[in-house]
Copies of this chain bind each other. A is one copy, B any other.
């Protein structure tokens, strides 16, 4: 991707799952030449069938003439990258990633490539794998980058252009700030939601448990959606951002105990006041994508 000349750009995408595949579809639609790298032949074939990139290979040499390479890999593969991948990245190319935790990714990659920019498009759904990629996933979603003092300004501008070309809202922040914020709005909710599923699923009274299963409706489905998501993703987010999650959990316990105390004391005006507060807080966390 070259400024104002997208159709000339050659963009590499490493990993063609939900994020990588969706990027491939959108970028081809914008006229870019997209080179997709996957690790298995069978995935490459499925990706070709779905036309997730212009060219698709399992050989990392495919990246040789890319102007920009997007590492759309799971977090653990970003933090522990394969030597062959590192060796295949052109030194002149801009490299970015899409990992949901930025501190540990930057710690590794700032040493590995002079033009690395940490970034995180805030888009996703429950799907995963080579079948998951879809057109328009990033439309109107935030794309946050976490530049440092040493970040190459040209590389940052290229990632910004990428984000804007996908109609993302461009945001920048310090990696630590990003990791604290996503702990609160993304990682902490996974743990909270999983604990709810565990509580009901482990209910020892079989009659209550069976009735709960019969009666559960959309409220329960919504509250437990992310706690019933991808276990590997949840565990790798937690392992890469544990300090911020533990900090959030400690703060969460305080709020939970405050509400529990109101119930225990039968202080219904206090409980109602707190629920009025939470009702008033929620719209601040909604954007055009989730106004319900």
Contact = CB atoms under 8 A, between A and B. Distances in A.
Nearest to A285: B216
Interface string A141-180: 1101000000000000000000000000101010001101
* Secondary structure type dominating chain A contacts: helix
Contacts of A236: 268
B255 A211 contact: no
Contacts of A213: 284-285
A186 B219 contact: yes
Contact of A259 (B191, B224, B232, B264): B191
Given A185-B215, A222-B223, A234-B271, A260 B249 contact: yes
Nearest to A192: B196
B124 A231 contact: no
A189 to B, nearest CB: 4
Contact of A242 (B122, B239, B266, B273): B266
A102 to B, nearest CB: 12
Contacts of A245: 263
Contact of A198 (B264, B272, B281, B283): B281
A289 B219 CA distance: 11
A87 interface: no
A246 B256 CA distance: 12
